[in-house]
Amino acid sequence: MVYTPRSARHGALLVGTVAVLGLLTACGDGTSEHGEAPATVSGTAAPATDGTTSPAPPATASSATGTGSPAAPRTTTSPGGATATTAPAATSTRCHTSELRASVGRNDPGAGQENFPVVLTNASARTCTLHGYPGAAFVGASGDQLGPDPKRSPGTPVTVTLKPGQSAWAGLTFSNPGVSGAKTATPAALLVTPPDERDQVKVVWKGGPVPVSGNSSTVRLTVFTPGAGPS
């Protein structure tokens, strides 16, 4: 047995301890060589893509709320119950000539003007619609047209919804021939064409002479509105 001095055993123990500490440092403990934590960058990484598509942009407040869409149609109701809206009429709901009865209301003169309501009434069993202006022409007893076609007065066309029995009217106006000095004729009838129709409804004319040529001889029509004319 070899005798080792106590001082030599103490030195060997110190050397072994240093060696173990060195091995632990080389294995790493999540710190850098100088004992500092790894640096990080704030923010979020974007998703990876394959280069063929781009992520859709997020929705904006204006697109989510639909601020670019047209305003909703406005609807009004006449005392008789017929309604009118600024939205165009659907083709399938349009009133056809065969479903309508025509009449001419009483004259409501004013300021040298003669004003007659041209009334169309739904005589069918279904609800239908009128949108815009009627067509019209004065004719004599032989059926020949008297004067040019009436012109349209400026206005905003509306869709009038007519339940069975309900009416809509358009104004037919012209200057009083006695005031304007226009050449006149007395029609036997007024031919009325509903909007977007080709067939006409014939109405006996009882309104007296109408201007057919000369100064201020223009006859005008307004858009249809609910009801049977001014009360």
pLDDT in tens, the chain (231 residues): 444 554 444 444 444 444 444 433 333 343 333 333 333 333 322 333 333 333 333 333 322 223 333 344 555 565 556 766 665 555 679 999 999 999 999 999 999 999 999 999 999 999 999 999 999 999 999 999 999 999 999 999 999 999 999 999 999 999 999 899 999 999 999 999 999 999 999 999 999 999 999 988 999 999 999 999 986
Which residues are within 8 A (CB) of 114 and not within 5 positions of it... i.e. 6 or more apart? 107, 173, 174, 175, 176, 207
pLDDT given for residue 73 in this prediction: 54
pLDDT given for residue 35 in this prediction: 36
Model pTM score: 0.63
Q: Where are the alpha helices (DSSP H) in 148-191?
A: 177-180
pLDDT given for residue 167 in this prediction: 98
The DSSP H or E segment spanning 138 is: strand 135-139
- How many CB atoms are closer than 10 A to CB 163? 14
